[in-house]
Amino acid sequence: MKRMILTGIMYNVLSCTAAFAQQEDSSKREKFNNFYMMMEFGRTNKGISAVQGGISLQLENNYFKIKASSLIEPYEKDRRHKDDPVPGFSDLNFIAGRSFTFLNNLQFQVGTGLSFVHETVQLRMDEPGYYAYHNKYKERVTFGLPLELRYNFFMTRGLAISLTGHGNANSIRSYYSASAGLMVGMF
């Protein structure tokens, strides 16, 4: 499994760097902006609400993205201390990928990379480690492999509607989600 993950990441990095050596027509490069901010809302395969946000840098047919995803899970509201953490699942993704442009305003992106995954769970009264006044939460951290498939419809040069399929394979809890949102081009 680790070999497949490393092979996928290396292939993506090598294909991106090889593409930088190729020259393109300058009129095609100026069609879209190079730096985007994005925000999306959606649901996971288990029906949990998800929110994603990030920044993306597009260089010719390649893109590089830093994206944070958070799953909004229900929790018990009778927490004893206001300083207790809120249960949840989040990841910070570093993604590199390829962009494919069709017609004048349609774009399809596919990318993968590495993610930092964090989960906080609230222990139940019958679980080991539960005490009345402390130790009600368990936090776990690991690394994962994100995969992103994205469709962008550019309404103007600096504004796009995006539909995204996002998955994350990790040792805590692998998931996939579908979301929709906006991308705003900065320059």
Strands 159-170 and 88-102: unpaired
Task: Indicate the pLDDT class of residue 32, thresholds 50, 70 and 90.
Answer: low
Please say if the pLDDT value at position 18 is more than 50. no
Query: What is the average pLDDT score of the chain?
Result: 80
- 65 vs 34, higher pLDDT: 65
The answer to whether 100 and 107 are in contact (CB under 8 A) is yes
Our CA dihedral for 71, 77, 83, 87, rounded to 10 degrees, sits at -20
The answer to whether 63 and 79 are in contact (CB under 8 A) is no
What's the token pair of residue 29?
């490069």
- 28 vs 15, higher pLDDT: 15
Mean pLDDT for the stretch of residues 88-99: 93
pLDDT in tens, 113-130: 999 999 887 766 655 655
pLDDT in tens, 35-49: 999 999 999 988 889
Residue among 179, 156, 176, 143 nearest 38 (CA): 179
Strands 137-156 and 88-102: unpaired
Q: Which helix (H) or strand (E) holds 136?
A: none
- Percent of the chain scoring above 70 in pLDDT: 68
Please say if the pLDDT value at position 109 is more than 90. yes
pTM attached to this predicted model: 0.73
Q: Does residue 29 form part of some domain?
A: no
pLDDT score for 3: 60
Contacts of 84 (CB under 8 A, 6+ apart): 136, 137
- Percent of the chain scoring above 90 in pLDDT: 47
Please say if the pLDDT value at position 29 is more than 90. no
**Cross-strand partners of 95:** 65, 113
Q: Does residue 28 form part of some domain?
A: no
Residue among 182, 177, 187 nearest 53 (CA): 182
pLDDT score for 82: 61
The answer to whether 37 and 23 are in contact (CB under 8 A) is no
pLDDT score for 153: 94
Q: Does residue 27 form part of some domain?
A: no
Q: The CATH number of the domain where 81 resides is what?
A: 2.40.160.20
Number of domains in the chain: 1
pLDDT in tens, 135-160: 567 889 999 999 999 999 999 888 99
Q: Structural domain of residue 142, as residue ranges?
A: 2-21+35-185
Distance, in Å, from the CA atom of 97 to the CA atom of 116, rounded to the nearest integer, reads: 18
The label of the residue with tokens 């596919």 reads: 110
Q: Does residue 46 form part of some domain?
A: yes
Q: Does residue 83 form part of some domain?
A: yes
Task: Indicate the pLDDT class of residue 187, thresholds 50, 70 and 90.
Answer: low
